[in-house]
Amino acid sequence: MSLRYYLATVNILVFLLYGWDKHQAAHGGWRISEKTLLAGALLGGGAGALAAMRIFHHKTRKAAFRYGVPLILAMELALYAYLKFVR
């Protein structure tokens, strides 16, 4: 599987995961742990996590998410650029 397909798949799944957690939070259902949400971002889903945070207004007050997810995304973009252009 190419890197682009992997990243697209992971970002879609992470976006849906954040959306599901927001839905569950609003309806008092079973929640997804913060560790799992951040792990999804760390596995290449930084863009999906950030998009979901903005669209669903979810986890925007928590410092680990407010600062951590954009930092994870920046590191992912730097790594992607390195792999694509330098290597």
Which DSSP string corresponds to 28-78?
Answer: T-PPPPHHHHHHHIIIIIHHHHHHHHHHHT-S-SSHHHHTHHHHHHHHHHH
Q: What is the pLDDT of residue 3?
A: 86
| pLDDT for the residue 65 | 97
Q: Whole-model pTM above 0.85?
A: yes
Kindly tell me if the per-residue pLDDT of 5 is higher than 80.
yes
Instruction: Work out the angle between the directed axes of helices 46-56 and 3-27 (0-180°, nearest 10).
Output: 30
**Does residue 84 carry a pLDDT above 70?**
yes
pLDDT tens track for 42-71:
999 999 999 999 999 999 999 999 999 999
User: Percent of the chain, pLDDT > 90?
Assistant: 91
